[in-house]
Structure 1
Amino acid sequence: MSARGEPPDGSRRGGPDGEDEFRVVFDESFVQAAVLHEPSAQERLRTGKGPRTLRRVLGVPATTFRAVALSLSVVVLMVGALYFGGRRGGAPAHRTASGPAVLVRVSLVPADGVVPVVLAPGADPYAGTPAADWSDGRSGIALPAQEETEHFSAPQVREGLELVRDFVAATQLDPAVWGGARPWSAALSLRADQYQQLIAALDHPVDDDVHSATGWVTRFDAETISVADTRVRVDAVTTIDEPVDGELLVAVDGVFVYAVKARDSGVFTRFTVHRVWEFRIDKPGLRDAQLRVRRIVTVAAPQACTAAAAAYFRPIFPAADGPPAAPPDAGRPDGTGARGAADGTGAPGATGQATGVVGPDAALPSPTPMPPVVSSVPLPTGSPIDPLALGGATGTTCGVLAAAV
């Protein structure tokens, strides 16, 4: 039997001297070659391999300080970007004063013996009148060759003028608006308070100097009147000035002649609308493509002087069986043509004595004089109505149309 604790076959002995067959012998040279070398501190510094220690500043890990510094840097950069981005447009401290646009309206009723013009179907509605030589539509709104002002560059001036021309065209020359649609492009160019004023006037017109639809736009009751010719003749001049530092004042004085038809009788006639706008534009407004309307003065003829004209223009038509009238002579000796004999251009005559009373308490004070505007259609003569000085009125002002238009 084998000894206790030995394998059944007995202990395995290797060589003749009894050594284990797997025993490895390490000689002295091998041992010396295998001596481990602990690098010194300088060696560790050179190799970059050293024990990592967590640095602390006032008991706080240094990595925390670095994270805080990085966060503060990001915040400073963001604040700086917002600050300089807000100043990039160069907006001055002055901003155009707020408030509703004042809408002054005058209706001219034909005097005794004055018969509105009857147009023959298919005939040129402007033939034989000064409007025959006017431009069609938007091209009739002339812009000045203004280069720059003290605080506005030439591109900024041009941008402001185009913004104004877009507004005028959208409210006066859009066939959809003539039939009652909203002039969305014009409305969106107004600041929020005047946008609400315009929309309220279109949806719920009132015969006053703030909420009348026809104080803003040219439109007719589509159930009774249609515009016979979409080629509206326009003669409008535009002036620009900078009476207040950082604010442009743009005035447009324009005449718009429409050929309209009564749906029940089929009678055609000409309908003339003379408007004077006063716009204020500052640099924030230019940046946002927005303007402010200070006031709009409107003279419409021939038109019934009724409160209903606050919602739609109400052209007066001649009798259906009346003979066609000759076109008016714009160069009358009395100088009552649209531009009068002074400059020889003439326009449909519309003169008379205003019967409405303008309340002085309703006048909107003008902080600065209006720039000179060349009147292109007559106003009621001998009346206190002056579109360049008048600031307010209550309801429609009635006048007398002294000659056919």
Structure 2
Amino acid sequence: MADRSPDENSIPDEAWEKFLRDSESGAGGDAPKEPSARARLVAQRLREQDARGESPAGWRTGPASQEMNGRKARRKKAWGVVGVVAAIAVGVVALKPSLLPGDPFGSGEPDVAVSPLPAETAAPTAAPGEARPQTPTLDEPFAGSPALRWADGEAGIVLPKATAVGGASKGRVEEALKLTRKLLVGANLDPKVLRGERPEAALGVLDPKQPELVDGLNTALRSPSEKHDPLRMFSRFDPDEVRLVGDVVKTRGRVTFKKGEYTGVAVHADYTFVYPVVRTDGSTEVTRTIVRRVLDVELSDPAHYNVTPGRLVVLKHDEEAGNSSCGVHDGYLHPEFPSKQPTGPSPSGPTTDPYDRSKELGADGSDACGTVSRV
């Protein structure tokens, strides 16, 4: 074998230092091919530097290297979390692509605006636009309905700011407005009343010195008939037939007030209530019944009328129910379901849109039971 000079194929000291430092820190690696005498010399020099406190940063303790390893570990862990979240998100989107904004897969279905509508402050000029056709479900009972954007229950009964009017003080106007709200809630939103129970809260707002009305309502609740029908004032469902889906009834309308007789306060309310229901026979098919009520009441002046202070006198009340069987007068609303044959007489009146609040009740001039264009 030919002789080699001492520097020929020699491994630089820096390489040996790196190998020894890596070995000390546990990084491992293959040792450079070098005569054992050379390795001993380099190791000896490093030990002498260490004894004098001259070791390079990272040798033995290696704070800089440990900090870097720590950063790598945290970054790797973060990517692991992000990876899991991304995997879950991909799985959810695969099951329900509609969760993605826009229309990334070109389904052609537009986004549905579900932001709530502002409170109604004046009579609308047209019916609400058509919603995207969707089938209501137990989880989404207002799907496909304009009421999806309406307020929930009592939140939809927004009272105007009370001001003194026609000799009636601001406080008296406030009292009239609050009593009207209590009547609307008690007659149309109370869960017990909707299940067919007696509407005690609503009856407690009415003046008992208006016997024709109050006695007539009590008769209707006790023995409902075509002549005495509690549905003219109260929304009620047969608990043996249907139940509400969830605990939300959609509500939209407005309340106004003006000077009444003498120092009385006259209040006008026009509200539509949308009730999602399901049959109690185990079916999961959901439908909706829509009830619109127009109410004129007055907190009359006890100085001029024989009235009970703090009670409302009903001047006029009208109602119209959409999607309820015709010719049934048992005191309950009876929603029709698409999968079931209609009960009662066939509708003979015109087709109307129960969501159209731009028209007055009875604007078609017909008293016959008709059909609804949508539910």
CA distance in 2, matches of 1:297, 1:207: 15
SS at match of 1:319: coil
Per-residue deviation, residues 336-387 of structure 1 (Å, max 9, x unmatched): 866xxxxxxxxx35xxxxxxxxxxxxxxxxxxxxxxxxx4577566x226xx
Q: Which residue of 2 aligns with 1:311?
A: 331
- 2: CA distance, partners of 1:188 / 1:243: 22
Residue 246 (structure 2) pairs with residue 226 (structure 1): no
Shift of 1:399: 3.5
Cα distance in 2, alignment partners of residues 380 and 191 from structure 1: 27
Match for residue 255 of structure 2? Answer: 238
1:403 maps to what in 2? 373
The match for 2:309 among 262, 265, 288 is 288
CA contact (8 A) 1:117 1:318 kept: no
Q: Report the CA distance between 1:241 and its aligned residue.
A: 1.2
* TM-aligned CA distance change 1:147 to 1:132, over 3 Å: same
Q: 1:118 to 1:213 in 2, by over 3 A?
A: farther
Larger relative contact order (C-alpha < 8 A, sep ≥ 6)?
Answer: 1
Identical-residue share of aligned pairs (%): 28
Retained in 1: the 8 A contact 2:260–2:298? no
Give the alignment of 1:255-334 within 5 angstroms: 255-264=272-281, 265-284=283-302, 288-308=309-329, 311-319=331-339
Deviation at 1:127, TM superposition (A): 3.3
Q: CA deviation at 1:300?
A: 0.7
Compute the TM-score of the two structures, normalised by the length of structure 1: 0.51
Kept after mapping to 2: 8 A contact 1:148/1:157: yes
Unaligned 5+ segments in structure 1 are 1-115, 322-335, 339-347, 350-374, 386-396
2:189 matched to which residue of 1? 173
Partner Cα separation in structure 2 for residue 178 and residue 133 of structure 1:
22
In the alignment, the residues of structure 2 paired with residue 219 and residue 294 of structure 1 have an alpha-carbon distance, to the nearest angstrom, of: 22
Mapped contact 1:274–1:377 kept (Cα < 8 A)? no
Answering whether residue 203 of structure 2 is matched by residue 183 of structure 1, we say no
What RMSD, in angstroms, separates the aligned Cα atoms of the two structures?
Answer: 2.6
Contact preservation (8 Å) 1:121, 1:268:
yes
**What's the CA shift for 1:400?**
2.5
Q: Which residue pairs with 2:91 in the alignment?
A: none
Q: Structure 1, residues 169-210: CA drift from partner, whole Å, max 9, x if none?
A: 0010011111111111211221222333222211111212xx
Structure with bigger helix share is 2
Deviation at 1:118, TM superposition (A): 4.8
Q: How many residues align?
A: 226
Change in CA separation of 1:190 and 1:151 when aligned onto 2, cut-off 3 Å: same
Aligned 8 A contact 1:160 1:286 in 2 = no
CA deviation after TM superposition for structure 1 residue 138, in Å: 1.1
Structure 1 residues 380 and 319: CA distance shift in structure 2, 3 A? farther
Q: Give the residue type in structure 2 aligned to 1:202.
A: L
Decide whether the 8 Å contact of 1:280 with 1:292 is kept in 2. yes
Distance 1:174 1:117, change over 3 A: farther
Q: Which whole-Å CA distance do the structure 2 matches of 1:199 and 1:302 have between them?
A: 26
How much does 1:307 deviate?
3.3
Matches of 2:317 and 2:277, distance apart in 1:
23
Bigger radius of gyration:
1
Relative to structure 1, is the Cα distance of residues 131 and 180 closer, same or farther in structure 2, using a 3 angstrom cutoff? Answer: same
What is the rounded CA distance, in whole Å, between the counterparts of 1:286 and 1:146 in structure 2? 22
TM-score for both structures, normalised by structure 2: 0.55
Aligned counterpart, 1:199 = 218
Partner Cα distance (1:377, 1:259) in 2:
23
Counterpart CA distance in 1 for 2:319 and 2:148 is 22
Following superposition, the deviation at residue 228 of structure 1 comes to 1.1
Unpaired runs of 5+ residues, structure 2, are: 1-132, 342-351
> Partners in 2 of 1:199 and 1:268 — Cα distance?
32
CA shift for structure 1 position 239: 1.2
Contact residue 153 and residue 250 of structure 2 kept, 8 A: yes
Checking the alignment, whether the CA contact within 8 Å between 1:117 and 1:269 is kept in structure 2 is no
Flag the 1:117–1:378 CA change in 2: closer, same or farther, 3 A.
Answer: farther
